Amino acid sequence: MTLPVKDLVLKYALAAKKAAHELSIMSAEDKNKILLNIADALEENSEKILFHNAIDVDAAKQSGLDAALIDRLTLTAERVKAMAKGVRDVAKQADPIGEIISENEHDGLSIKKVRVPLGVICMIYESRPNVTADSAALCLKAGNAVILKGGSEAINSNKIISGIIVDAGVKAGLPQGAVQFIDSSDREIILNLIKLNGMIDLIIPRGSENLITFVREHSSVPVLSHGKGLCHVYIDKNASVEMATDIAFNAKCQRAGVCNAMETLLIHKDIAPKILPKLCGLYASAGTELRGCNQTQVIVPNIIPATEEDWDSEYHALILSVKIVNSLEEAISHVNIYGSQHSDAIVTNDENAAEKFIKEVDSSAVFHNASTRLHDGSVFGLGAEIGISTDKLHARGVMGVRELTSSKYIVRGDGNIRK
């Protein structure tokens, strides 16, 4: 007899809550031992993981999923190695639990704010099977239990990865219920999970706008969205031509299907003629489709004309819109109007222009003379990342282990009372 969805989901949540309590008092050493065992097991089972991943990839190709999604879904021996390394990097991080966030004396009281686990975290995500390992590792390190609800397109990959994590984890002392993967693509399950306020402490939806909007609209549990990345690179008139070309090419072509890839290139009118002809040649030879504004069409004659819709599009593919702007101010304004407040870059040798861009562009990460693709947990030194928050509350931008914690005031007195 199968349980009704409501009871099934409650069963997961209760097991997670119990495990969360055990995890919250576990030592850093014990948590790290579990993590290292998980990392080893992932590597040892690489072939098994690739076998199950191939089933998902084949199904995705047959159902005609687009190239960016298939790229995100596909694992290789190297990507499995990277997944295990990510788990080891998390183990290496300083333990966040018990860390003193602030400390002061006031009115004869000693007031400390210390870091504590959040409790139970629920990840609702699509494609990328590495999210399964990264999320489990980060949640454990921060003393949280995690419920994983992956997308149907990666169901075989996620099942095998989470199975390996739980087996290897439990052998090393992981409490039962600390990592649970929900093996179902029933949307009803999501709807029930996001109503468990009081049982689940945080929902992280990571994937399409559609998924995120659905979760945000219906959740009574606090939500941190990992949403749309409509990122820009702006090449200022005082940029180095070579550096600008490298960064603009990298931001689009190094990996197009990810959220921190550039979707629109903004370029100052004074430098555009010196950069665009060669840069557009590079894009073309990398198979990138270009769509340009009126002024761009003059410099790059055969470019597809861009429409208003292009400025508003996250292609998630080898497509790029190009717009020539008349000033730094126009670039900033374009980013703030069309961007998704994710990752935006300026390339310039003019410090004042960089300062203005950094101050006025309201994004989770603003880059000066660096590619937007660098907005990443391992690049930022956080070990693995659970994603990039496009929210402003609690955590903004790339989230590591600290962003999965809460805090508690510890107040010590000597009989102090309120006057």
The yes or no reply on residue 365 touching a copy of itself (CB under 8 A) is yes
Residue from 137, 366, 399, 401 touching a copy of itself (CB under 8 A): that is 366
With beta carbons less than 8 A apart as the criterion, state whether 151 and 185 touch: yes
Least Å distance, CB 373 to a copy of itself, is 4
- Contact mark string toward a copy of itself, 82..111, x via CB under 8 A: ----------------------x-xx-x-x
**Per CB under 8 A, 418 contacts a copy of itself:** yes
**CA–CA distance, 22 with 327 (Å, rounded to integer):** 57
Is 360 a binder of a copy of itself (CB under 8 A)? Answer: yes
Work out how close the CB of 156 gets to a copy of itself at its nearest, in angstroms, rounded to a whole number.
29
Among 373, 385, 387, 401, binds a copy of itself (CB under 8 A): 373
- Out of 119, 151, 169, 387, the only residue in the binding site for a copy of itself (CB under 8 A) is 119
Beta strands in 256-349 (DSSP E): 262-268, 289-292, 304-305, 319-325, 343-347
Q: Are 310 and 321 in contact (CB under 8 A)?
A: yes
Residue 48 touches a copy of itself, criterion: CB under 8 A:
no
Direct distance between the N- and C-terminal alpha carbons of the chain, in angstroms, rounded to an integer: 61
Q: What is the DSSP string of 109-177?
A: EEEEEEEEE--EEEEEE-S-THHHHHHHHHHHHTT-EEEEE--GGGHHHHHHHHHHHHHHHHHTTPPTT
Contact residue for a copy of itself among 81, 92, 187, 255 (CB under 8 A): 255
Does 414 help bind a copy of itself (rule: CB under 8 A)? Answer: yes
Rule CB under 8 A: say whether 364 interacts with a copy of itself. Answer: yes
The residue within the footprint of a copy of itself, chosen from 179, 247, 265, 306 (CB under 8 A), is: 247
Q: How far is the CB of 416 from a copy of itself (least distance, A)?
A: 4
The number of residues making up the chain comes to 419
Question: Among residues 184 and 208, whose Cβ is nearest to a copy of itself?
Answer: 208
> Is 224 a binder of a copy of itself (CB under 8 A)?
yes
Return the number of other C-beta atoms located less than 10 Å from residue 96's C-beta. Answer: 20
CB atoms within 10 A of CB 220: 12
| 294 binds a copy of itself per the rule CB under 8 A | no
**Among 10, 82, 241, 243, interactor with a copy of itself by CB under 8 A:** 243
Within 305-334, the residues that bind a copy of itself by CB under 8 A are none
Q: Extract the tokens encoding 406.
A: 């809460």
Task: Give the shortest CB-159-to-a copy of itself separation in angstroms.
Answer: 29
17/199 Cα distance (integer angstroms): 7
Residues 120, 93: contact at Cβ < 8 Å? no
Q: Are strands 319-325 and 289-292 parallel, antiparallel or unpaired?
A: parallel
Please say whether the beta carbons of 99 and 112 come within 8 A: no
Helices (H), 196-293: 209-218, 241-253, 272-285
Please select the residue that binds a copy of itself; options are 44, 209, 270, 362, rule is CB under 8 A. Answer: 362
Binding letters toward a copy of itself, positions 201-220, x by CB under 8 A: xx-------------xx--x
Q: Looking only at residues 374 through 403 of this chain, which bind a copy of itself when binding is defined by CB under 8 A?
A: 374-376, 379-381, 391-394, 396-398
- Of 127-135, 288-296, 322-330, 404-412, the segment contacting a copy of itself by CB under 8 A is 404-412
H helices present in 172-221, as ranges: 187-193, 209-218
Of 18, 222, 282, 334, the residue at the interface with a copy of itself (CB under 8 A) is 222
Interaction of residue 29 with a copy of itself, rule CB under 8 A:
no
Q: Residue 1 and residue 103: Cα distance in Å, rounded?
A: 54
Question: Is 413 buried (19+), middle (13-18) or exposed (0-12) by CB count in 10 A?
Answer: exposed
Which residue, 145 or 224, has its beta carbon nearer to a copy of itself?
224
Single out the segment in contact with a copy of itself by CB under 8 A; choices: 30-38, 135-143, 173-181, 367-375.
367-375
Q: How many angstroms separate the Cα of 76 from the Cα of each of 80, 130, 175, 352?
A: 6, 11, 30, 44
- Rounded to 5 degrees, φ, ψ at 40 are -60, -45
In whole angstroms, the minimum distance from the beta carbon of 415 to a copy of itself comes to 4
Contact 138, 87 (CB under 8 A): no
Question: Interface residues with a copy of itself (CB under 8 A)?
Answer: 24-25, 104, 106-107, 109, 111, 113, 116, 118-119, 197, 201-202, 216-217, 220, 222-224, 240, 242-243, 246-247, 250-251, 254-255, 354, 358-360, 362-371, 373-376, 379-381, 391-394, 396-398, 406-418
